[in-house]
Homo-oligomer: A and B are copies of this chain.
Amino acid sequence: MPSQPVDLDQLFAPRSVAVVGASTNVDSPGHDYVRSLKEFGFPGPVYPINPKADEIAGYKAYPSLSAVPGEVDLVISCVPAPAVPALVEECAGGKARFLHLFTARFSETGDEEDAALEARVMAAAARAGVRILGPNGMGVYHPAGHVAFRPDLPQQQGSVAFLSQSGNNAVEVVIRGNARGLHYGKVANYGNGQDLTPAVLLDYLGHDPDTTVIGAYVEGVPDGQAFFRALRKAAAQKPVIIHKAGRTSAGARSAASHTAALAGAAEIWSAAIRQAGALEARSQEQLLDLIIGASLMPLPKGRRIAVVGGGGGRSVQSADACEENGMSVLPLPDPLRDQVRERAPKLADWVGNPVDQSILAGSGLSSNGLLQMMIDSGHYDLAIANVGEDWFFGRPDAESRLRHACERLTSIVQASPLPVAVVLGATENRVPWQRELVDSVRDAFIDAGVAVYPTPERAAFALGRLVTLNA
């Protein structure tokens, strides 16, 4: 790898895009890529390439890439694998800078002829001076660049970058992350990743000033040393979270048939990720939990955690989760206990950390009030606030009480210099008004930029790992 990263600015924000194998069939990828550009308001020229069509999704169609006027920054290929060598020749001589091969059925099928075709395509592209993203990948999603690999993806612009070997995993991470408050910057699904390898992409994102947090899903990398060199450099600049899959023999076998990846030993990967200063996720859920923590909250400056909310069981469970994830659940400091004594003498020697909300009833103290006092005490580095929504459902004025508590909590989180993770459950209710209420307050938290986790264990996992970035 050169010491300067490969310039991928025009891959993520091309000035012009051609879609080869563009289709009038609305249920085909060859249509989706064209329509995505329309939906995302791509401002430059869009060239659907289809010799049998006049226009596709409102854009004038061209019979071949050669027939397109001038140069093209990004060519997206939806043609079958055997047609790719001729396309590469058309891209040569400066006609195209980047060729994204959505086209699949290369080395990942395990068939020798398919693998040989891939090798020929890569060699030809190198000679032609065109860089290849893919094959067997969905390509680029970058809302600020007005490009996307599916027309229905969220259009909010952000600074969370994500690399994914798998296309469906990229779609899931985008949709599910967005629903939890992530706004994405540069996202690439690189598939077999033979030319623009994960190392090349990661190196670019590490240097990219528009990227604040990087996530990556890898099954295997063709250039391990370059990858870990890029990872170390990137992790020194910003939080990087790596979800390494294909850890087991069955997972590795599946990875080979998916993207022809050689997965490698799990323990070696874990150690190398840790040594590079990045965080490891072992599931998509952990990946998202960590990215959300890194991008929606300030990084914690220490391990001393304040925990509030929910009843006694929730308190005990939260305390276990925090300590099992390496944080210290310190008792209330004496000055804070004295403050409690002034307002609720009977509680002063009983209330602890975690704050059990159920013992506060009638005291004039609330879980939110204690959270604010704990943040102000200077005694803690980070916090978890359990909403405890199930308790509210049993009260006559559940909706107004829950909304009020969540609004106050939002204000506290937004003003807090410490990271505060909010815990509110997922779809775990069959009473329509209760489900809608929880969805509604969760959406409100997320719209306010609050990091929400469905369980205290998941909040504690994310916070506990983020602590290590500053350790």
Contacts and interface: CB of A to CB of B under 8 A. Distances in A.
A179 B427 contact: yes
Contact of A323 (B164, B250, B349, B442): B250
A126 interface: no
Contacts of A312: 166-169, 254-255, 257-259
Contacts of A328: 250
B393 A175 contact: yes
Nearest to A351: B257
A354 interface: yes
Contacts of A429: 175-176, 179
A251 interface: yes
A267 interface: no
A425 B254 contact: no
**Most chain B beta-carbon neighbours within 10 Å: one of A150, A180, A390, A395:** A390
Contact of A356 (B258, B284, B356, B396): B258
A428 interface: yes
The CB with the most chain B CB atoms within 10 A, among A249, A255, A427, A435, is that of A427
Contacts of A178: 430
A426 to B, nearest CB: 4
Contacts of A246: 316, 320
Contacts of A55: none
A342 to B, nearest CB: 19
A11 B89 CA distance: 82
A313 B250 contact: no
Interface in A122-168: 150-152, 154, 164-168
A152 B431 contact: yes
A173 to B, nearest CB: 9
Interface string A423-449: 001111111000100010011000000
A242 B10 CA distance: 56
A225 interface: no
Nearest to A454: B426
Interface residues of A, number: 91
A247 interface: yes
A324 B152 contact: no
Nearest to A176: B428
B313 A168 contact: yes
A154 B430 contact: yes
Contacts of A331: 253
A425 to B, nearest CB: 7
A327 to B, nearest CB: 9
Interface in A299-343: 310-317, 319-324, 328-329, 331
A323 to B, nearest CB: 4
B254 A356 contact: yes
Contacts of A168: 310-314, 358, 388, 390-391
Contacts of A428: 175-176, 179-180, 426
A285 interface: yes
A164 B250 contact: no
Contacts of A254: 312, 315-316, 319, 329, 352, 354, 356
Contacts of A167: 311-313, 358
B455 A283 contact: yes
A313 B176 contact: no
Interface of A: 26-27, 32, 109-111, 150-152, 154, 164-172, 175-176, 178-180, 217, 219, 245-251, 253-255, 257-259, 282-285, 310-317, 319-324, 328-329, 331, 346, 349-354, 356, 358, 388, 390-391, 393-397, 425-431, 435, 439, 442-443, 454-455, 457
10 contacts: A154-B430, A165-B313, A167-B312, A168-B312, A169-B317, A176-B390, A246-B320, A251-B319, A254-B312, A283-B317
Given A26-B396, A254-B316, A285-B457, 10 more contacts: A32-B394, A154-B430, A166-B314, A176-B428, A176-B429, A219-B316, A245-B313, A248-B329, A254-B312, A283-B457
Query: 8 tightest A-B contacts by CB?
Result: A166-B313, A168-B311, A169-B313, A258-B312, A250-B329, A426-B426, A248-B323, A251-B320
